[in-house]
């Protein structure tokens, strides 16, 4: 019971600290803006640990964070191999192929206003569909290896990136295009010097959405067939064996991979679209 | 005007749809022909091109079924089956729809409540917002099998709730982001005006912030309902479910029946289209009534 | 439209020192836009000659076609009738030879480029060498008093400075005709005065032909050699006023009776032009 009340007390104290920090004179400081969510995250972990121990929750239902951490350290080799298989080979390769294909398609589509008007509503609709359901078909077509995972990822990221890029390419204002006309600029000059830079904030929206979808696609595809490693494979087999701590270890890895992937793209976005009002702040 | 609308909107879309169908048929012929040719070779026959095309359109387990085959499969498993039948796609669609709606309601409620908390409390904003963003970078499907296995152990039975939780997880974030934007939409002057009336916090919430947020809310709801459907199907995929569109995909895969997978996928797409349309309709009606329609 | 012959004659009478050369020649120009509410007659029977080195202001209520006329000159708009020549070429041919520096009401600088990068933009497109780009950027930024801001981004500058940068951009490739569409319309009066003064000096130094759209009477009178008064529905030229003020114009000239007299004539012209609008 000490665990339970202790952890609750810790959480309350952490919350109080956050309230104080959030209303303190230094609240606009960068360090404080980072510290507050970190303190909140730690307090949740402590609460989780305390509740599980205090109420003696079965590890089959919910293992405490300390047990998950121990499992991560113990099985790091397995986790790493799974990570490489799913996140790097499946998700990232599919992501790169899918985004490149979508980008090139968007450039082609953009040349014909007729095509653009036809494709935009359809692309928007398809982007909202549960494309992840294609997973078994891709596994059927491309086999159990990472190629089928990459194929699912390609299908999932293609439309969001396509739609955002096409939309972004029409972002440059009429006036700026007129300006290009007075310079007698050619199509490619206008594209490279005006429309692509203006489209970047939109393109990055698509790219960011894609990062999450990529991992989802790669993991789900493994539920339908994979070699004997990979994050999705591990999760589904360990759930079957009720080794929930290992499942959580994989989830932690997946969360880390997802956040890193998203963070990386966000960083590149900051660097490329430094000039956009949303980035200047 | 209607002529313009046809030319500007409908015609391009129809053209692209037609192109997609043409590509699809082409791909079906190409992908299915290897099986056709292998069969013919085994039988020692040589086939003409028309014979090949004909065969690729009518295989029972094609690599890529042609659209009309999928349509026939859907017809067979909707109109020609009783709704209560385990083979009716309407039945399975209903199971998925239920989970979708439950998850949508839950996710929307969570999203709105969190948005209110974030708009009114700086501590909440600084503590929660980063984690909300991170939560979306976590591939929820990693959690799905575990949620399905663990929930019954703590006394929650049935498959509806686990699926709804996954749905809600995918759907709450767009609602949260849209609502935060919407609740912050009123201008400084509008808020100052409320102050000059000495309006209470609740009054300025109900009379200013909430109405201002409605257009934003609906935009998010359209994204949210599509996300909720994806969540429900993802919840059915990896967990050995036997009912629901996701389960049809799973079973189709296990029994090597691609037609069934494609039929279920198409139904999911139709369902998504209908749901988005309904929310869009509600949006138009509501905004018109509130005098906010463009 | 007998009015239109006047400036031509006046020019010839006045410019005894150097022979006048017509740069822009418009004859019976018509432009009808097809809109959802039916056809809109943006320009009707516009006939006008603009000589090299002129500073011509176009003034009139909104809808009088002053911006449209500028856009026709720059080949951004295709006339539906009549004839227009720029240096004895069609506007589009002149555009391809980069005859125009266009300045819009909004500065329209690219936020992802520095000030120097923005000025360099047309130079890159036209294909100047790297050294020449640097040289020209330096020169025009000096011309508009923006030395030292090369590496700043547009959003780090005030509105007036942004507009100066956009003028520098238009000057960079030495287009012989400067088309300015209410370039100072969005700025406050104090900044505007300052920029007007600078623009005059710049015109003095470069001797460019400038077409300047405005709806400020003092601005038009202060800046131009000719003031074209236009009236709306259909957009047409009502009157061309020859500005008798000397080329040397300190800001204080705006308080002199001569200045007020011209301003008065413009105002009368605007009133009369609006009159037969019904």
pLDDT digit string, tens, across residues B34-61? 888 888 888 877 778 888 888 888 787 8
Please report the pLDDT score of residue C19 as a whole number. 62
Q: Omega before A124 cis (within 30°)?
A: no
To the nearest whole Å, the CA of C245 is away from the closest chain A CA by: 32
Tell me how far the alpha carbon of residue C170 is from its chain's centroid: 12
Domain assignment present for residue B209? The answer is yes
Tell me the β-bridge partners of C236. Answer: C231
Please report the pLDDT score of residue C9 as a whole number. 37
Measured distance CA(B285)–CA(B279) in Å, rounded: 10
- Residue B174 near residue B110 (C-beta atoms within 8 A): no
Q: How many domains does chain B have?
A: 2
Chain A positions in Cβ-Cβ contact with residue B127 (cut-off 8 Å): 15, 18, 22, 36-37, 39-40
Of B8, B140, B258, the CB nearest to A117: B8
Measured distance CA(B31)–CA(B66) in Å, rounded: 11
| CB within 8 Å: B12 and A118 | yes
To the nearest whole Å, the CA of B250 is away from the closest chain A CA by: 8
Of A61, A133, A220, the CB nearest to B153: A61
- Which 3 state secondary structure label does DSSP give C29? strand
Measured distance CA(C43)–CA(C161) in Å, rounded: 33
Chain A positions in Cβ-Cβ contact with residue B269 (cut-off 8 Å): 129-130
- Please enumerate in sequence order all residues whose Cβ is within 8 A of that of A174, keeping only pairs 6 or more positions apart, or say none: none
Bridge-based pairing of strands C38-51 and C22-35 is: antiparallel
Find chains touching chain B: ≥3 CB pairs under 8 Å: A
Q: What single DSSP character describes residue C187?
A: S
To the nearest whole Å, the CA of B129 is away from the closest chain A CA by: 8
| CB within 8 Å: A115 and B130 | no
For residues B253, B254, B258, B261, the Cα torsion angle rounded to the nearest 10 degrees is -50
Chain C positions in Cβ-Cβ contact with residue A277 (cut-off 8 Å): 155
Of B13, B146, B272, the CB nearest to A122: B13
| CB within 8 Å: B8 and A211 | no
Task: Report pLDDT digits (tens) over C188-200.
Answer: 888 888 888 888 8
Tell me how far the alpha carbon of residue B106 is from its chain's centroid: 16
Tokens representing B208 are 């200013």
To the nearest whole Å, the CA of C64 is away from the closest chain A CA by: 20
* Residue corresponding to tokens 């050699």: C225
Q: Indicate the domain borders of chain C.
A: 2-99+193-275, 103-175
H or E segment to which residue C32 belongs: strand C22-35
Sheet order of strands, C177-181 included = C100-103, C177-181, C209-214, C55-59, C226-231, C236-242
Of C106, C111, C173, the CB nearest to A275: C111
Measured distance CA(C277)–CA(C163) in Å, rounded: 34
H or E segment to which residue C266 belongs: helix C257-275
Average pLDDT score, chain C = 84
User: At residue C16, does pLDDT exceed 60?
Assistant: no
How many pairs of residues across A and B have Cβ atoms under 8 Å apart? 172
Nearest to C180 by CA among C189, C190, C167: C167
Q: Which residue of C has its CA nearest to A192?
A: C125
- Which 3 state secondary structure label does DSSP give C220? helix
Chain A residues with a Cβ under 8 Å from any Cβ in chain C: 173, 175-176, 178-185, 189, 193-194, 197, 200, 273-277, 280
Please report the pLDDT score of residue C275 as a whole number. 52
User: At residue C17, does pLDDT exceed 70?
Assistant: no
Task: Report pLDDT digits (tens) over C191-232.
Answer: 888 888 888 888 888 888 999 999 888 899 999 999 999 888
Nearest to C23 by CA among C118, C120, C91, C101: C91
To the nearest whole Å, the CA of A72 is away from the closest chain B CA by: 16
Measured distance CA(A110)–CA(A119) in Å, rounded: 10
Domain assignment present for residue B81? The answer is no
User: At residue C14, does pLDDT exceed 50?
Assistant: no
| CB within 8 Å: A193 and C76 | no
Q: Which residue of A has its CA nearest to C100?
A: A182
User: 162-221 in B: which are within 8 Å (CB) of A?
Assistant: none
Q: Looking at the complex, does the CB of residue B253 fall below 8 Å from at least one CB of chain A?
A: yes
Of A19, A133, A251, the CB nearest to B123: A19
- DSSP string computed for B170-236: HHHHHHHHHHHHHHT-S-HHHHHHHHHTT--HHHHIIIIIHHHHHHHHHHHHHHHHHHHHHHHHHHH
Domain assignment present for residue B71? The answer is no
CATH for B173? 1.10.3720.10
End of a domain among B64, B79, B101? B64
Q: Write out the CATH class of domain C2-99+193-275.
A: alpha beta
Chain B positions in Cβ-Cβ contact with residue A232 (cut-off 8 Å): 141-142, 238
To the nearest whole Å, the CA of A15 is away from the closest chain B CA by: 8
| CB within 8 Å: A37 and B237 | no
**Secondary structure tally for chain B: helices H, strands E:** 13, 0
To the nearest whole Å, the CA of C116 is away from the closest chain A CA by: 15
Tokens representing B220 are 């998010």
- Residue A235 near residue A247 (C-beta atoms within 8 A): yes
| CB within 8 Å: C124 and A193 | yes
Checking B288-294 for CB contacts under 8 A at 24+ apart, the result is B290/B211, B290/B214, B292/B214, B292/B215
- Residue C239 near residue C273 (C-beta atoms within 8 A): yes
- Across B11-27, b (16+ Cβ under 10 Å) vs e yields ebbeebeeeeeeeebee
**Nearest-10 crossing angle of helices C130-143, C189-206:** 120
Nearest to C224 by CA among C203, C205, C238, C239: C203
Task: Among A177, A178, A182, pick the best mutation site for testing chain C contact (most C Cβ within 10 A).
Answer: A182
| CB within 8 Å: A179 and C124 | no
Find chains touching chain C: ≥3 CB pairs under 8 Å: A
Chain B positions in Cβ-Cβ contact with residue A22 (cut-off 8 Å): 122-123, 125-127
List the domain range (segments joined by +) for residue B154.
89-289
Please report the pLDDT score of residue C246 as a whole number. 83
End of a domain among B27, B47, B64? B64
Tokens representing C257 are 């009776």
Task: Report pLDDT digits (tens) over C101-156.
Answer: 899 888 889 999 999 999 999 898 888 899 999 999 998 898 888 888 989 999 89
Chain B positions in Cβ-Cβ contact with residue A265 (cut-off 8 Å): none
Please report the pLDDT score of residue C114 as a whole number. 92
| CB within 8 Å: A254 and B142 | yes
Nearest to C259 by CA among C218, C226, C225: C218
User: At residue B100, does pLDDT exceed 60?
Assistant: yes
Place B2 in a pLDDT band, splitting at 50, 70 and 90.
Answer: low
Task: Report pLDDT digits (tens) over C63-72.
Answer: 888 889 999 9
Q: Looking at the complex, does the CB of residue B262 fall below 8 Å from at least one CB of chain A?
A: yes
To the nearest whole Å, the CA of C104 is away from the closest chain A CA by: 8
| CB within 8 Å: C102 and A276 | no
To the nearest whole Å, the CA of C75 is away from the closest chain A CA by: 8
Does residue B164 sit in the same domain as residue B258?
A: yes
Please report the pLDDT score of residue B217 as a whole number. 92
Does residue B45 sit in the same domain as residue B174?
A: no
Tell me the β-bridge partners of C89. Answer: C86
**Secondary structure tally for chain A: helices H, strands E:** 14, 0
CATH of A72-280, picked from 1.20.1260.10, 1.10.540.10, 1.10.3720.10, 3.40.50.720, is: 1.10.3720.10
| CB within 8 Å: C102 and A184 | no
| CB within 8 Å: A275 and C112 | yes
- Which 3 state secondary structure label does DSSP give C179? strand
Please report, in tens digits, the pLDDT of each residue of chain A (281 residues total). 688 888 999 999 999 998 888 888 887 888 888 888 999 999 999 999 999 998 888 888 889 999 999 999 999 999 999 999 998 999 999 999 999 999 999 999 988 888 888 888 899 888 888 888 888 889 988 988 888 999 999 999 999 999 999 999 988 888 899 999 889 888 999 999 999 999 999 999 999 989 988 988 898 888 888 888 889 889 888 888 888 889 899 989 988 898 899 999 999 999 998 888 877 75
């Amino acid at each position: 019971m000490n665990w339970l009340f202790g952890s609750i007390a810790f959480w309350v104290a952490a919350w109080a600290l956050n309230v104080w920090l959030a209303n303190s004179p230094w609240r606009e400081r960068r360090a404080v803006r980072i510290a507050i969510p970190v303190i909140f995250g730690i307090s949740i972990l402590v609460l989780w640990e305390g509740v599980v121990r205090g109420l003696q929750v079965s590890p089959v239902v919910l293992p405490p964070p300390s047990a998950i951490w121990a499992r991560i350290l113990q099985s790091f080799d397995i986790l790493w191999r799974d990570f490489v298989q799913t996140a790097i080979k499946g998700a990232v390769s599919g992501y790169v192929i899918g985004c490149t294909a979508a980008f090139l398609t968007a450039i082609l589509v953009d040349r014909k206003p007729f095509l653009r008007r036809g494709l935009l509503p359809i692309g928007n609709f398809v982007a909202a569909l549960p494309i992840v359901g294609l997973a078994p078909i891709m596994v059927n077509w491309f086999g159990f290896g990472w190629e089928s995972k990459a194929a699912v990822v390609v299908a999932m990221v293609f439309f969001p990136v396509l739609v955002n890029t096409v939309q972004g390419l029409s972002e440059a204002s009429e006036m700026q295009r007129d300006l290009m006309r007075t310079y007698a600029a050619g199509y490619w000059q206008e594209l490279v010097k005006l429309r692509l830079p203006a489209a970047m904030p939109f393109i990055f929206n698509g790219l960011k959405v894609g990062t999450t979808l990529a991992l989802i696609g790669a993991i789900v595809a493994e539920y339908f067939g994979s070699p004997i490693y990979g994050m999705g494979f591990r999760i589904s087999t360990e759930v079957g064996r009720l080794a929930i701590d290992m499942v959580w270890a994989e989830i932690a890895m997946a969360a880390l991979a997802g956040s890193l992937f998203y963070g990386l793209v966000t960083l590149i976005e900051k660097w490329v679209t430094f000039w956009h009002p949303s980035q200047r702040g | 005007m209607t002529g313009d609308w046809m030319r500007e909107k409908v015609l391009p879309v129809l053209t692209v749809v037609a192109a997609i169908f043409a590509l699809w048929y082409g791909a079906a012929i190409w992908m299915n022909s290897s099986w056709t040719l292998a069969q013919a070779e085994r039988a020692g026959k040589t086939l003409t091109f028309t014979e090949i095309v004909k065969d690729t359109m009518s295989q029972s387990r094609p690599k890529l079924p042609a659209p009309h085959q999928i349509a026939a499969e859907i017809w067979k498993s909707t109109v020609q089956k009783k709704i209560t039948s385990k083979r009716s796609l309407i039945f399975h669609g209903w199971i998925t729809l239920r989970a979708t709606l439950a998850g949508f309601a839950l996710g929307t409620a969570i999203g709105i409540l969190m948005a209110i908390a974030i708009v009114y409390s700086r501590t909440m904003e600084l503590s929660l917002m980063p984690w909300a963003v991170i939560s979306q970078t976590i591939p929820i499907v990693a959690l799905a099998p575990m949620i399905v296995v663990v929930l019954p152990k703590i006394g929650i039975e049935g498959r509806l709730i686990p699926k709804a939780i996954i749905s809600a997880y995918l759907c709450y974030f767009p609602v949260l982001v849209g609502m935060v934007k919407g609740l912050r939409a009123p201008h400084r002057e509008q808020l100052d005006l409320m102050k000059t009336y000495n309006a209470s916090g609740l009054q300025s919430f109900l009379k200013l912030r909430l109405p201002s947020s409605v257009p934003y809310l609906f935009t998010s709801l359209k994204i949210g309902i599509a996300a909720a459907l994806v969540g429900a199907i993802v919840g059915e995929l990896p967990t050995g479910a036997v009912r629901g569109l996701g389960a049809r995909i799973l079973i189709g895969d296990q029994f090597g029946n691609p037609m069934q997978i494609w039929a279920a996928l198409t139904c999911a797409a139709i369902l998504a289209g209908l749901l988005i349309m309904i929310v869009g309709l509600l949006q138009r009606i509501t905004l018109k009534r509130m005098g906010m329609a463009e | 439209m007998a009015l239109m012959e006047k400036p031509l004659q006046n020019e010839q009478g006045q410019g005894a020192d150097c022979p006048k050369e017509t740069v822009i020649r418009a004859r019976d120009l018509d432009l009808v836009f097809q809109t959802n509410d039916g056809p809109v007659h943006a320009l009707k029977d516009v006939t006008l000659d603009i000589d090299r080195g002129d500073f011509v202001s176009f003034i009139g209520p909104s809808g009088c076609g002053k911006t449209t006329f500028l856009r026709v000159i720059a080949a951004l708009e295709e006339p539906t009738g009549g004839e227009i020549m720029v240096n004895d070429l069609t506007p589009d041919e002149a555009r391809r030879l980069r005859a125009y520096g266009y300045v819009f009401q909004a500065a329209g600088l690219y936020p992802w480029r520095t000030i120097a990068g923005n000025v360099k933009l047309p130079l890159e497109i036209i294909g100047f060498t790297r050294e020449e780009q640097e040289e020209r950027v330096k020169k025009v930024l000096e011309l508009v008093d923006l030395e030292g801001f090369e590496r700043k981004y547009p959003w780090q500058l005030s509105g007036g400075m942004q507009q100066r940068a956009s003028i520098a951009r238009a000057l960079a490739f030495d287009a012989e005709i400067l088309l300015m569409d209410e370039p100072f319309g969005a700025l406050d009066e104090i900044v505007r005065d300052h920029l007007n003064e600078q623009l005059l000096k710049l015109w003095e130094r470069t001797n460019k032909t400038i077409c300047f759209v405005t709806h400020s009477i003092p601005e038009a009178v202060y800046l131009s050699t000719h003031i074209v008064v236009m009236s709306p529905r259909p957009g047409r030229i009502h009157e061309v006023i020859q500005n008798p003020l000397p080329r040397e114009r300190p800001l204080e000239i705006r308080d002199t009776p001569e200045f007020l007299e011209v301003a008065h004539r413009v105002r009368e012209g605007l009133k009369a032009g609006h009159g037969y609008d019904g």
